[in-house]
A and B are shown apart, each in its own frame.
Chain A
């Protein structure tokens, strides 16, 4: 991408021609380049915010599409507040794939007992639970996708989640977990986050997508 008529590099090496002045960015172009993380090169490796959504209480899904393929890995952070009376089942679907190729495994604690769950699923994979009774303390999950740009290998999904409940203990949960879209070797370009049973995410629930980039 270029900025301004000169294609934008700073410095005298972009020599002027009969149709273009020397390649010096305007302040506006400089701000655009910084905004788009094209210049200057970052000094540290870090997560960059890609996109996010705050739910208004009326919808039960959100999808990230056209995920940039320019990062080393992805990180998704979701926080959920409840507004009904059941334990909810947040799920993810990768690349819109509805096949019976998903698998997951959890290890941790749930309701005061050791939890270990696994299974194969169709059209989605579990990413834990949250308590739909809990309107004030959000449950949370962090999902990591390394190798998501590979087009000849299945991208693994690693996540951790904590289910908070301030009324009763049966839904409290903390787990490390993994999931996968088996046979799905394409690069991950979209990720849909939704509730399996159609519960709407309460107002203030959030999901955010970050990309990890090297300096």
Chain B
């Protein structure tokens, strides 16, 4: 086959690809991917974190499995929001506990089709910690400083950048003089100890840990920035496919979640012990009692998704430049119908 013919064939293929792209506006015409969901299995993801306490305890000690009866519970552990969202998209899990910003990203990226938030899991539990010797006494002292968040684009990362923006600072990527370095929580501790960063916006129990071990103090409790000190830091999302096909399973899961939430709030001391026991099974490590106490003092285990705080957080993320050029519409992200059914049946106040 002489080169000219090859070029011609290549040209033809490329031309048709371009034509198809322009015509179909980047939508697939068919949907051959495997979206099967099963009624007898529910695959649940969660993190070994204290703001997924209901899952750590309930999935660890069998409470959830009991509530779900014949439906087999399969679990998967994640350490970061984006991986949980990826797994959801790839139909490897059906439901997951996750932070607020990853859920927003996933919703937008799938044009609102792939997921719904069906309940809250935790509110509060994030603090802005600074080193005692970093010479930061007020918001006027941030110039030239370095701060960390646990991950680019996650809930605390957005909170930190929004806070900086609100107080007139720009990050170095945008020509400003405050550097934001997203680093894993464990590394944040190291960098604080090495004095390589001046502060960090972190979720609990890292706030408590940094104060105890890294010669730092809480500059700002994020609750102070929100009405009634409530803002969502963890919630439950489900794939729309699964929700559509198996609402009964989802409802049973929500009932278990609500029950676990109640139990934790009514048995604080014991729940700490159980949590640590389950955590040790998952990670081989536990959180010291005093840190747990302190961490919990700044957060709430709840089933309330605190909708308004999510919308505000999305708006902040857009202002920071994370969500593209068009202010996104995430009004359809919540589906609390089943949660409210559960609450009503239990005689609890519903979420509006």
Chains A and B bind each other: no
Residues of A at under 8 Å CB distance from B? Answer: none
